Structure 1
Amino acid sequence: MPKLTVDAELIEQLADLMDEKNLTELELAQGEHKLKLSRAQAPAPAAPAPAPAAAAPAAPTTSAPADKSSHPGAVPSPMVGTAYLAPQPGADAFVTPGEAVKEGQTLLIIEAMKVMNPIPAPRAGTVKEVLVADGSPVEFGEPLVIIE
Structure 2
Amino acid sequence: MADPKTPAPRLKSDDIDTALVRGLADILNDTDLTEIEVERGDLKIRVAREITMAAPVQYAPAPVVHAPAPAAAAPVSMPSDPATIVAKQGEEVKSPMVGTVYLQASPEAAPFAQAGDTVKKGQTLLIIEAMKTMNPIQSPRDGVVKEILVGDAQPVEFGEPLVLLEA
TM-score with structure 1 length normalisation? Answer: 0.52
The alignment of Structure 1 onto Structure 2 pairs a total of residues equal to 83
User: 2:118 aligns to what?
Assistant: 100
Residues 27-66 of structure 1 mapped to structure 2, 5 A cutoff = none
In 2, distance between residues paired with 1:145 and 1:90? 22
Indicate yes or no: 2:96 matched with 1:78.
yes
Greater relative CO, 1 or 2 (CA 8 Å, sep 6+): 1
Q: What residue is the counterpart of 1:122 in the other structure?
A: 140
**Given the superposition, is the C-alpha separation of residues 72 and 97 from structure 1 closer, same or farther in structure 2, using an over 3 Å criterion?**
closer
The structure whose Rg is larger is 2
Can you give the 5+ residue segments of structure 1 that lack an aligned partner in the other structure?
1-59, 61-66
Greater helix proportion: 1
> Identity across aligned pairs (percent)?
63
Q: Which runs of 4+ in 1 moved over 2 A?
A: none
Tell me what 1:146 maps to. Answer: 164
CA deviations 1:7-61 (Å, max 9, x no partner) are xxxxxxxxxxxxxxxxxxxxxxxxxxxxxxxxxxxxxxxxxxxxxxxxxxxxx9x
- What letter corresponds to residue 117 of structure 1 in structure 2? N
Give distance in 2, aligned partners of 1:90 and 1:132: 19
Q: Cα distance, 1:72 vs. partner? A: 4.3
For 2:96, the aligned partner's letter is P
Question: Counterpart of 1:14?
Answer: none
Partner SS for 2:153: coil
Distance in 1 separating the partners of 2:107 and 2:95? 21
Taking only aligned residues, the RMSD between alpha carbons, in angstroms, comes to 2.0
Correspondence 1:91 to 2:109: yes
Please list every run of 5 or more consecutive structure 2 residues that lacks an aligned counterpart in the other structure: 1-78, 80-86
Question: Counterpart in 2 of 1:55?
Answer: none
Q: TM-score, normalised by structure 2?
A: 0.47
Amino acid at match of 2:119: V
Q: Distance in 2 between matches of 1:117 and 1:111?
A: 6
